[in-house]
Amino acid sequence: MQCQVCNQETVLPFRCPYCGGQFCGEHRLPENHQCARIDFARSQRQEQVMKTQTYNSYQYSYNLGAPRHERHLTTSPKELKHIAVAAALVMAIGVSIGLYGNFFGGFSFTWTVVMMVVFAVIMTGSFLTHEVGHKIMAQKSGLWAEFRLTTWGAALTLISVFLPFRMISPGAMMIAGTPNGKELVKISLAGPIVNMIFASALLGIAFSPLPATWSALMFFAAYINAFMAIFNLVPFGILDGYKIFSFDKKAWAIAFSVSIVLTIIAVIYTF
């Protein structure tokens, strides 16, 4: 979206609470975009510096335009509860893949209970560290960042436990503040990079001297992580790839190329 003053393309525009216009970080204040309701804005500030807005869809609140926070990792009891539910859902997905494979085939090995648990732990770790990667980079930039479940995402993830196809999207990292382009690229890259690291490590384990069934399991886990990276780097919609591509096409091209290579290697040895 373009800023209504300078026409600069802005991925995360600031909406003026007084006139309703969309502006970049430089022109977000009423004084900087000749707000039509500047007098009302000034009178409001005399009573309260900034109002808190509550977003009911995720049931949390934060101050728009508030000063940046201290740059260290923080969490809250509410975030930990949401993470616990998300972890349980992803664990269920991991176990269900093994059960489905034993009943309907599709794998070159038979899943044991131990293999299901190990794979479910890897899946859960891959998902959560992806989100924590975003959180760390956001909070290093002084932004508010906490994980939240989403109603439809959690519901679809739960339903897919019982379906042939899987959807792993119980929630996402919610970030508040106004990051600049460089910060947004770092925040968006963090998640896919975590999955690429997981995929590389799992491929290394798979190529080590392991029993054939465990090597096959590691290759499959590597494929899941590589696919998560390449999917999130697609430059479309709300995906990480769109934000990265908008501000740094070179960084996007490098990350996307690496994820493609990892995916191809994993596919060759998995299927």
For 68-72, 111-115, 225-229, which range has the lowest pLDDT when averaged over its residues? 68-72
Distance CA 202, CA 199 (A): 5
Distance CA 175, CA 177 (A): 7
Report pLDDT for 41. Answer: 66
For 31-45, 57-71, 250-264, which range has the lowest pLDDT when averaged over its residues? 57-71
Distance CA 92, CA 157 (A): 9
Q: What angle do CA 260, 162, 93 make, to 5 degrees?
A: 45
Quick: pLDDT tens for 102-151.
998 888 889 999 999 999 999 999 999 999 999 999 999 889 999 999 99
pLDDT for residue 182 is more than 80: yes
More confidently predicted of 44 and 209:
209
Report pLDDT for 62. Answer: 35
Distance CA 24, CA 150 (A): 27
Confidence of residue 87 (pLDDT cuts 50, 70, 90): very high
pLDDT for residue 15 is more than 60: yes
Report pLDDT for 45. Answer: 56
Confidence of residue 40 (pLDDT cuts 50, 70, 90): low
Report pLDDT for 224. Answer: 95
Per DSSP (E only), the strands in the chain are: 14-15, 22-23, 52-55, 60-63, 144-149, 171-176
Mean of pLDDT over the chain: 85
Report pLDDT for 7. Answer: 76
Distance CA 110, CA 35 (A): 66
pLDDT for residue 69 is more than 70: no
Quick: pLDDT tens for 28-39.
777 777 777 776
